[in-house]
């Protein structure tokens, strides 16, 4: 009776293939996780834009908020934990336009341009801990676009 066993070469090739497949899967999973964590930015920027349009319909002007809220971007570059939005009455002109996110946020938001004729809303996120900050912009006429610098994964 002969028993057939795998050779060392066959086992090594199998282990190498499993390793390559795992490396591809882990990289893809990480990219998907980061995209998911950044996903809050576009709807929040759009909601700020809509709140500004409502403010404009009443007061005939947009309002700016050049400060970032929450003030620190991801607390440190590698911290992916969501943080609380500032208490009502402490979020500058975000309170004036009546906008506040639901729950905690992983990004930060600003309204760098707001006057009688134009508006720009910006949201930023750095959940992957690199030096690139993903920014999402919207204007009074544009619902928003990503400015990712050299990052192309959105």
Whether pLDDT at 2 is above 80 = no
The full set of domain ranges for the chain reads: 35-147
List the one residue out of 103, 105, 97 whose CA is nearest residue 121. Answer: 97
Residue 126 tokens, joined: 């750095």
69-113 pLDDT per residue, tens: 987 654 444 456 788 899 888 989 999 999 999 889 888 999 998
109-151 pLDDT per residue, tens: 999 988 888 999 999 888 777 777 888 999 888 766 666 544 4
Residue 147 CA, chain-centre distance (Å), reads: 11
Reply yes or no: is the peptide bond before residue 70 cis, omega within 30 of 0: yes
Bridge partners, residue 134, by sequence: 125
* pTM (two decimals): 0.75
Sheet of 65-69: strand order equals 65-69, 108-114, 119-125, 134-139, 145-147
Q: Identify the pLDDT of residue 23.
A: 86
């Amino acid at each position: 009776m002969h028993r057939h066993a795998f050779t060392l070469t066959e086992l090594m090739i199998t282990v190498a293939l499993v390793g390559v497949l795992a490396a591809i899967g882990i990289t893809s999973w990480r990219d998907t996780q980061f995209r998911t964590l950044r996903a809050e930015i576009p709807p929040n920027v759009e909601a700020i834009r809509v709140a500004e349009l409502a403010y404009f319909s009443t007061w005939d002007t947009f309002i700016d908020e050049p400060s970032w809220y929450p003030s620190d971007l991801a607390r440190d570059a590698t911290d992916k934990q969501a943080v609380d939005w500032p208490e009502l009455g402490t979020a500058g002109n975000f309170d004036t336009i009546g906008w506040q996110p639901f729950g905690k946020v992983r990004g930060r938001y600003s309204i760098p341009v707001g006057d009688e004729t134009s508006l720009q809303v910006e949201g930023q996120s750095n959940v992957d801990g690199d030096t690139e900050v993903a920014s999402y912009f919207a204007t009074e006429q544009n619902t928003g676009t990503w400015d990712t610098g050299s990052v192309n994964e959105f």
